Structure formats: structure tokens, C-alpha cells
Amino acid sequence: MNTAIEIYKLFQTKGILVDKEIIIFKNYCHDFIESCKDLELTILGIDGFAIKNNRTYVNTTEISDFSKTKEDIENCYVLATLFINKMFKHSTSDGYLFTLK
């Protein structure tokens, strides 16, 4: 089975499905990052979303792109963790969409 599909199945109850992608609820983001690392899935970016009345709204101030340089890609788990830690302190998003490779 494709590892990206596998991880989304693991987290399908820990997020909300939107257009065939899953927005991981904020409280499960660290677990998601660790699972990506375990499955050797590269995190290319993260987008924050507010969830209100069963609708999602992208939070354009909470977006991070790790695909800019080879060094960013190699350090994607560290960068993703740092980003999520920062969002826990200052975020208005309810969940995050992870772009994986």
C-alpha cells in the first residue's frame, strides 16, 4: 500500500476530510509528523485552516513551505515540528494540511 495513503488512513479520525485531503486537528499534528518520519514521508509544506460550521477556511498567515531548498527538505521533520510548536502558541487555526512526498 502507498505510504501516503497508509498515513491518511491512520489519521482519518483525527482530522477532517476536504476534497480528498485531510486536515489534521491541531492536537494530532506532532503524532502526524512522527508518523511521517517513521514512514519516511517527506513533509513539503503545511497550511493552517480554521474549521467553522463544518466549513474550512485557509489561514494564509499560517503557511510554511519546506520545499524551497534541499536543506529544508532534508530537515523537514525538524522544521515541521518547529512550525507546529510556534502555531500552538500563536495560532488561530484548528487544523493543518500537510503536503507530502
pLDDT digits (tens, 9 = 90+) for 31-53: 999 999 999 999 999 999 999 98
For the question of whether the overall pTM of this predicted structure is more than 0.85, the answer is yes
Q: How many domains does the chain have?
A: 1
| pLDDT tens-place string over residues 57-83 | 999 999 999 998 888 888 999 999 999
What's 11's domain CATH number? 3.30.190.30
What is the domain extent for residue 50?
3-100
DSSP the chain: --HHHHHHHHTGGGEEEETTEEEEEGGGHHHHHHHHHHTT--EEEEEEEEEETTEEEEEEEEEEE--SSHHHHHTHHHHHHHHHHHHHHH---SEEEEEE-
